[in-house]
Chains A and B, each alone.
Chain A
Amino acid sequence: MTTTTPASPPTPPPTTAPPTGRGRLNPRSIAIWTSIAIAGAIAWGVLALSRGEEINAIWLVVAAIASYAIAYRFYARFIVRKVLKVDDTRATPAERLDNGIDYQPTDRRILVGHHFAAIAGAGPLVGPVLAAQMGYLPGTMWIIFGVIFAGAVQDMVILFFSMRRNGKSLGQMARDEIGTVGGIAALVAVFSIMIILLAVLALVVVNALAKSPWGTFSIAMTIPIALFMGFYLRILRPGRVAETTAIGVGLLLLAIVAGGWVQESGLADTFTLSPEALTICLIVYGFFASVLPVWMLLAPRDYLSTFMKVGVIGLLAVGVLIAAPVLRTEAVTDFAREGNGPVFSGSLFPFVFITIACGALSGFHSLIASGTTPKMIQKESQVRLVGYGAMLMESFVAVMALIAACILEPGLYYAMNAPAGVLGSTVESASAAVANLGFTISPQDLSAAAAEVEEQTLVARTGGAPTLAVGMSEIFSSVIGGSSLKAFWYHFAIMFEALFILTTVDAGTRVGRFMLQDTLGNIWKPIGRVSWKPGLWATSAVVVLAWGYFLYTGVTNPLGGINQLFPLFGIANQLLAAVALAVATTILVKSGRLKWAWVTGIPLAWDATVTLTASWQKVFSDNPAIGFFAQRERFAEALDRGEVLAPAKNLDDMRAVVTNSTVDGVLAAFFAILVILVIANAAWICFKAIRARAPLPTTEAPYVRSKIVAPAGLFPTAREKREMAAAGTSSGERT
């Protein structure tokens, strides 16, 4: 540390192997960490032990934050040092292959922002809302412990392994590490999860906008707003993103306010659309959005939705802290024990773990963690902040969504979330149905709740988004504006969710098309060329029609689309997580780290148990509410006798149920077979690796000495500051 020559080639950087100090705790940090641990323990105690009294949501926030802090400080650090053995003297691909385009060393604080924006979406907002039917405790525990031991571990480990392999994708790593079967299964899993994901997300939007002229108008206006921003950014002011986003956000707020005016005006009927009409609109939109150049629609939408995402989540966190709302849901409901809940069927195990995927463990993240992020990391030790840290933030979003759902009166929650077939279409029938479920809400209260947010009805507004929006408007309006702003906040929340779901629909269709082009290109060359327009249109249409099919069956399903499709989405997502964790475990074993393989092996075992149990029940359960084939049989037999069974209204409905349950059942079985194939293949490779004694040949890129000096965590330590000063880099604002 005596040389001060700024980064001349022969001077080795002053860092040596263990990147930061030996981590002996001084009395001050022992005191801090002990008090965090005590705060967390008290909060958990309050959540777990109180029964029958009202719990403040702040306890949930404290439990979450204390657990995250301890996990980040101790468990993530242990994994980074002992299991992954990060080496900050080793140059990352961003440094070695820096081309100023995709490989680019990026400041850790920027990268964690990018990574968080890429992994966080509607998933952590929808799942917890649905899982609230089991009570607040199972969801909270799974979100927090799941992220600490599984979700964040998966994200960080995949990020690290991809980084050591020059940013290889999950599919490539599965092929290289596990073999062809694993590779193909991963590819098929990614494609099918994409289709189901897009259908479920689009269904959330349809359910949020159906019969709501205010919402439909505001969301429709985002298209001209995005087009305007696109042209502004392309032609008038290239590259001025902040300015363009500010204008866009202004217009967006105007569109929300204007939605209220439209609802009062003669235009209201034009924007009152049936779910079927909205489905067609979305399918057409999805096609055109995905074939237009990125700059026109997708890029500006991306800026808007990222801004809204970060802004609203920040607002919600502040709102929860100020409003300090009380949880109205029980800790654990009877539905959790008996598995007869109306929102989704099945008991706590395994269905809470399927319903809440994003926020606890999400296989989808492994695609992002093996995409652009590993090509931009400056220093190996930064995987803890970027991979583990960003996932903790997403988990916190899920905790807040759970709070927003649990502060609602249970009567209102079930009146909004049970399928239309159960609730009927009037407030009276809904009130009676809710009473049947064991909760109370009077028809007057139900009308009043709808009037408060200026919606025609709140009955059977499934999909999670309207429930979350009511909860958020409750929280926001108690901080700003009181009940006069409730309708604004409700539609603000709807806009926030619909906006980035539509962005995902566009981006997801593009990714699906790209995969399809890539695969078909092996059979027939021209279709693989991304610039060949007819091929582009054809593959786009295939992808759009694939998710459009599931969307349409979801919208028209008498049993309720979310009720039927969400478990499939959860299973598909957890299946992808199983692929990712199997890849990670195999790499650990192959590189001679068998004794640490439990770090990803235990989450893998848990994930496989959950996914396979859920698939088993979905396929083989003889309870028609759970098993797809039992359901099929029940409706097919009635259909043969010419009978119409309860939620269905006519024979066409009956036929729809039979077809849907067959397709869904086949898919559930198919997903389960994929998981088994990948795990069996991985287990065989691990077995061979253990038998081989010496570590198998590595697939890592060779070691090159790093010249970059940069801190590992969010804030540089004293030692890192000295090292940066020695190397001539300031601690701050430079990439």
Chain B
Amino acid sequence: MRRALAAVRWYLRELTGESQYDHYVDRHRRLHPDQPLLTRREFEHRRTDRRDQNPTASCC
């Protein structure tokens, strides 16, 4: 039961992109441990604003 709930939570976080920041932090610590991290706010702003430059259509 608890495992099922954890799996649902994992799926929703991944699907909605909520976990993107965590992945970024992991990745950043691994690759550039000496450089400062973006805050969650800055990271999310950049992530959304990227879509302004690069529109993608959903289908009919």
Contact = CB atoms under 8 A, between A and B. Distances in A.
A121 B6 contact: no
A113 to B, nearest CB: 5
B49 to A, nearest CB: 7
A194 B58 CA distance: 11
Interface in B11-60: 11-18, 20-21, 23-24, 27, 40-41, 43-45, 48-53, 55-60
Contact of A241 (B16, B23, B51, B58): B16
A610 B18 CA distance: 44
Contacts of A101: 50
A85 to B, nearest CB: 28
A238 B41 contact: yes
A366 to B, nearest CB: 10
Interface stretch (A4-12, A16-24, A505-513, A661-669): A505-513
A553 interface: no
A463 to B, nearest CB: 14
A561 B59 CA distance: 21
Given A238-B41, A733-B6, A372 B13 contact: no
A119 B7 CA distance: 25
Nearest to B27: A100
A352 interface: no
Interface stretch (A293-301, A333-341, A519-527): A293-301
B23 A733 contact: no
Contact of A358 (B11, B53, B60): B60
B25 to A, nearest CB: 10
Contact of B60 (A104, A121, A303): A121
B7 A733 contact: yes
- What is the interface of chain B mostly: helix, strand, loop, or mixed? helix
A246 B11 CA distance: 16
Given A241-B16, A241-B18, A118 B58 contact: yes
B60 A504 contact: yes
Interface string A281-301: 000000000000111001100
Contact of B10 (A122, A245, A733): A733
Nearest to A307: B16
A488 interface: no
A123 B12 CA distance: 26
A649 interface: no
Contacts of B18: 239-242
Contacts of B23: 100, 104, 735
A391 to B, nearest CB: 11
A242 B12 contact: yes
Contacts of B27: 100
Given A242-B16, A242-B18, A294-B51, A109 B56 contact: no
Contact of B57 (A100, A106, A233, A367): A367
Nearest to A201: B60
B59 A109 contact: no
Nearest to B23: A735
B33 to A, nearest CB: 15
A500 B60 CA distance: 9
Size class of the A contact interface (CB-based, 8 Å): 35 or more
A119 B59 contact: yes
B60 to A, nearest CB: 3
B15 A114 contact: yes
Contact of A110 (B15, B51, B53): B15
A511 B43 contact: no
A362 interface: yes
Contacts of B58: 117-119, 121, 302, 368, 500, 503-504, 507
A239 B21 contact: yes
A358 B45 contact: no
B22 to A, nearest CB: 10
B29 to A, nearest CB: 12
A101 B53 CA distance: 14
Contacts of A705: none
Given A101-B50, A294-B51, A733-B7, A110 B14 contact: yes
B49 A294 contact: yes
A121 B16 contact: no
Most chain B CB neighbours (cut-off 10 Å) among A121, A295, A367: A295
A702 interface: no
A365 B11 CA distance: 24
Contact of B45 (A110, A238, A508, A513): A238
Contacts of A530: 52-53
A510 B55 contact: yes
Contacts of A298: 51
Contacts of A142: none
A371 interface: yes
Nearest to A240: B18
Contacts of A372: 56
A118 B48 contact: no
A111 to B, nearest CB: 10
A238 B10 contact: no
A555 B58 CA distance: 24
Given A110-B14, A238-B40, A238-B44, A362 B24 contact: no
A674 interface: no
A72 interface: no
Given A117-B58, A245-B16, A507-B56, A100 B24 contact: yes
Contact of B55 (A104, A238, A241, A514): A514
A295 B55 contact: no
7 contacts: A201-B60, A233-B44, A242-B18, A293-B49, A364-B60, A500-B58, A507-B57
Interface of B: 6-7, 10-18, 20-21, 23-24, 27, 40-41, 43-45, 48-53, 55-60
Given A234-B45, A245-B16, A294-B49, 10 more contacts: A100-B27, A104-B23, A109-B11, A119-B58, A194-B57, A197-B60, A299-B51, A303-B16, A504-B57, A511-B56
Would you list the 6 A-B pairs with minimal beta carbon distance, nearest first? Answer: A123-B60, A510-B55, A241-B16, A238-B44, A733-B10, A239-B44
